[in-house]
């Protein structure tokens, strides 16, 4: 079983590469943003609970997020593993993920950070913002703020997973196929 945590700044190609990994290795891609939206849309008890926090401008507590992740894993036990995208974001969430997976006799196999120069990512995001209409990708200042937030949070996670010998950095610059090949080489070593 392969369980991956995928990191990368906005525009680094996480979504694109997650699609490849999902197909190539029969993994389930779990994006916490999608998970929240789906649970809220379906009005599950966890979705309604998360919405109650969000409606008040509060962060959804880690335990609610973990409970959603656990429910998603339980619904997909036939998979060869999982890609966790957008979670964990803090050291305490990483510890909670390890605890939850160990209860299922599973563990994080690797954390992979797609690394790319900020200026290149800004170009990608501004281009994406024009074609997709996403307002968060149309303002360079907002993009830089998102990068700063990523840097603050990921630094702690880099240390957490490095201590477990599970942190890997992949060059996120190049063609989609070049990046995919780098990922494939890494996964073959797990």
| Extents of the domains making up the chain | 2-188
**Is position 37 annotated as part of the catalytic site?**
no
Catalytic hit among 41, 42, 130, 134 = 134
Q: What is the pLDDT of residue 59?
A: 79
Q: What percent of the chain has pLDDT over 70?
A: 100
The alpha carbon dihedral of 4, 9, 11, 12 has a sign of negative
Catalytic hit among 22, 146, 153, 166 = 146
**Is position 14 annotated as part of the catalytic site?**
yes
Q: What is the pLDDT of residue 18?
A: 94
Residue 23 has pLDDT above 90, yes or no: yes
Q: Which value, to the nearest 10 degrees, does the dihedral of the CA atoms of residues 142, 135, 112, 167 take? A: 20
CATH number 3.40.50.300 is the correct assignment for the domain at 2-188: yes
| Complete edge-to-edge strand list for the sheet that includes strand 2-8 | 28-31, 81-85, 2-8, 110-115, 167-171
Q: What percent of the chain has pLDDT over 90?
A: 70
**Is position 89 annotated as part of the catalytic site?**
yes
Phi and psi for 34 in degrees, rounded to 5? -65, -40
Q: What is the pLDDT of residue 35?
A: 92
Catalytic hit among 22, 51, 91, 128 = 128
**Is position 146 annotated as part of the catalytic site?**
yes
Catalytic hit among 9, 89, 124, 182 = 89
Q: How confident is the model at residue 60 (pLDDT cuts 50, 70, 90)?
A: confident
């Amino acid at each position: 079983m392969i369980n991956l945590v995928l990191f990368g700044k906005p525009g680094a190609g996480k979504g694109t590469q997650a699609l490849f990994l999902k197909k190539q290795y029969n993994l389930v891609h779990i994006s916490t943003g999608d998970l929240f939206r789906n649970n809220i849309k379906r009005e599950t008890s966890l979705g309604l609970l998360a919405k109650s926090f969000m409606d008040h401008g509060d962060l959804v507590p880690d335990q609610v997020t973990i409970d959603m992740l656990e429910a998603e894993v339980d619904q997909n036990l036939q998979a060869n593993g999982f890609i966790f995208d957008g979670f964990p974001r803090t050291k305490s969430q990483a510890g909670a993920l390890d605890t939850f997976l160990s209860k299922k006799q599973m563990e994080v196999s690797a954390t992979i950070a797609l690394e790319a120069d900020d200026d290149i990512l800004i170009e990608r995001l501004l281009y994406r913002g024009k074609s997709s209409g996403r307002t968060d990708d149309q303002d360079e200042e907002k993009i830089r703020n998102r990068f700063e937030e990523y840097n603050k949070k990921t630094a702690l996670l880099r240390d957490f997973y490095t201590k477990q010998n599970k942190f890997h950095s992949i060059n996120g610059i190049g063609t989609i196929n070049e990046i995919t090949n780098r990922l494939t080489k890494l996964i073959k070593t797990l």
